[in-house]
Amino acid sequence: MNPFYENLAHFIHGAAFMFFILASIQLYPLRHRSNMMRLLFCSMIFLAFLEFKDMGFLIKGVWYNPYITSITMSTDMLYVPLMALFFFEVISPGWVTLRRIIGMSMPSVLFIVAYIIYPSSVIFKAAMLYALVFGTIITVIVFMASSRRDNYIKNNFSDIENLSISWVRKAITALYICLVLWTILLWEENWLNDAAYYAISIIVWTYIYRLSQKHSVIEMPSTSRLFMPKPEQKGSHEIQNFPFKKLQEYMENERMFLNPKLTLTEVATAIGTNRTYLSEYLNNDLDTTFYEYVNGFRIKEACALLSSDERRTLMEIAELSGFNSLSTFNRAFVKSIGETPARYLKKRQIKC
């Protein structure tokens, strides 16, 4: 292998170590904000430790000692349950407990202990296979659970900018790629793959670090369960009695959609119905979510403001339409109209 790739791998390895150290320092004052931030802080410290322990390979003779090398590499397995615990906490605040931390970490710890006592290649290979299979299962669970949680958020909140956890699915995919690269490295030494592994790790954890700071942790039902319960199906009689006309009147006349923090509970209370019935009506009869339903009124209001003769900035129009930010306004407008607000406004000005 080209010496350049080896030097590159060592350089990025050192950069990863420094990144996790700096991230730990910056997260220290934020660790009390939520259990999620506490887990992220602990994760950065542990990842820094995993990078630091590899410096032991610089000691003469250590790299060529298969017993020490295998133990050191086996310790990296703890990265997988750590990753799982963090994402589970993001998806379901309050899910992570000491009992669950021990339960999810114990198999990896037992593999390490077993190899220390009885250094067999069979145990080492079994441990690596377990880490890959476990990581695969975790990735699937995170995808399914985060999707259901996002549906719950869209069905209950009109402002999901810092509530949505769609970023979790992107992060877990990238980390799964890291896990596959790490597994390949265990069987075949390749400095280029080694460099790619650490580079991806830095990028992904930077992404996680930034999104975690913006993420708002909210209280939800069934936080002790990873998966949100599916909504109960109501009888046709109950749906037929739903005050859909009153809902429409309240949204149009009372202009409730102008409240950027409007929730499903507030609307249900205003029209004198149960929040479950309201959600059921929106999902099944209108085939939409509360978030999309409210945004429909906001987009209609924004189009009216864009078509008026008054000169306003897009930020002003977003705020006057009930959007909490310009970025949310742009995404919702493109999804509904098919083009950006700026392009929509420019086309109107050309026609005029």
Q: Any idea where the domains of the chain sit in the sequence?
A: 3-214, 236-351
Q: Output the average pLDDT for the chain.
A: 85
Q: Is residue 19's pLDDT more than 90? A: yes
Q: Which residue has the higher pLDDT, 131 or 227?
A: 131
Coil, strand, or helix at residue 263?
Answer: strand
Which tens digits make up the pLDDT trace of 56-98? 766 776 667 788 888 888 888 898 999 899 999 999 988 999 9
Alpha-carbon distance 232 to 329, whole Å?
A: 32
Residue 283 in tokens: 């999902």
Q: Please name which of 238, 236, 237, 278 lies closest in space to residue 256, comparing C-alpha atoms.
A: 278
Please tell me the predicted confidence (pLDDT) of residue 230: 60
From the centroid of its chain, how far is CA 17?
23
Q: Among 1.10.10.10, 3.10.620.30, 1.20.1070.10, 1.10.1200.10, name the CATH number for the domain at 3-214.
A: 1.20.1070.10
Evaluate whether 239 touches 284 at the Cβ level (below 8 Å). Answer: yes
Q: Which residue has the higher pLDDT, 296 or 233?
A: 296
Q: Which residue has the higher pLDDT, 173 or 6?
A: 173
Please tell me the predicted confidence (pLDDT) of residue 320: 92
Residue 337 in tokens: 């109209």
Q: Which residue has the higher pLDDT, 348 or 150?
A: 150
Q: Per-residue pLDDT averaged across 165-170, rounded?
A: 93
Q: Per-residue pLDDT averaged across 174-200, rounded?
A: 82
Residue 64 in tokens: 């060529």
Burial 237-271 (b: 16+ CB within 10 A, else e): eeeeebebeebeebbeeeebbbebebbbeebbeeb
Output the CATH code of domain 236-351: 1.10.10.60
